[in-house]
Amino acid sequence: MSDLGATERTVPTGVDQNAQQAVERARAGDDSAWHELFDEHYPRLFKFFRSRVDSDATAEDLASETFTEAVRGIDRFRWRNRPFGAWLFGIARNRLRMHYRARRVHDELPEKIGYGRDDYVGVDVRDALDRLDPDHRVAIELRYLLGLSGQEAAAAMDRSHGAFRALLHRATLAFKREYGTP
């Protein structure tokens, strides 16, 4: 392996050893590693999609498509200060864009992609989130609603961790204003 290949596979500080091993086993074609990664990440991916589409079935399809794309593209995954979960959420965001582009052929894209169900977020919280700037909303959703770590959420938004923390701080202040919390 070239030096570049070794550098690209360097795992960032703070990445769980088990996660690293599972990713490397998956990269080597180990199906059980993919099952571990699926079990760990699927619930958050499903929740991400379910909050943006109108049915459980569509959310399940999109989450499954995200994993299918990850399996096909695992050789392109590089740690580069990005946890594996953040890479998956990058794929998920692209799948969602593609989903709505495909729908535009048949329907008009909704002005706002709202929550399909109130099971995940109360109506008053959802309404406050809907009034936020899109970047603020995504930052709050990734960090607090989906439970990604700050580093994972930053990577999913293609931002440095410091830039994400600043964005999340501004987003939290904006949310408090919209929600009516001092």
pLDDT tens digits for range 102-128: 765 444 433 444 434 444 456 677 778
Neighbours of 81 (CB within 10 A): 17
Rounded to 5 degrees, what are φ and ψ at 26? -65, -40
Question: In this predicted structure, what is the pLDDT of residue 115?
Answer: 39
Helices and strands per DSSP (H, E), number in the chain: 9, 0
Domains 1-117 and 121-182 share a fold: no
Q: Which token pair is 122?
A: 């109360």
- CATH architecture group of domain 1-117: Orthogonal Bundle (1.10)
Confidence of residue 146 (pLDDT cuts 50, 70, 90): confident
Confidence of residue 170 (pLDDT cuts 50, 70, 90): very high
Domain 121-182 CATH class label: mainly alpha
Q: Which is higher by pLDDT, 36 or 142?
A: 36
Q: What would the mean pLDDT of 134-139 be, rounded to a whole number?
A: 88
Domain boundaries, the chain: 1-117, 121-182
Amino acid at 27: R
Neighbours of 175 (CB within 10 A): 20
22, 38, 94, 117 from 56: Cα distances, Å: 28, 17, 19, 10
Per-residue pLDDT tens over the stretch 49-91:
888 888 889 999 999 999 999 999 998 888 777 788 888 988 9
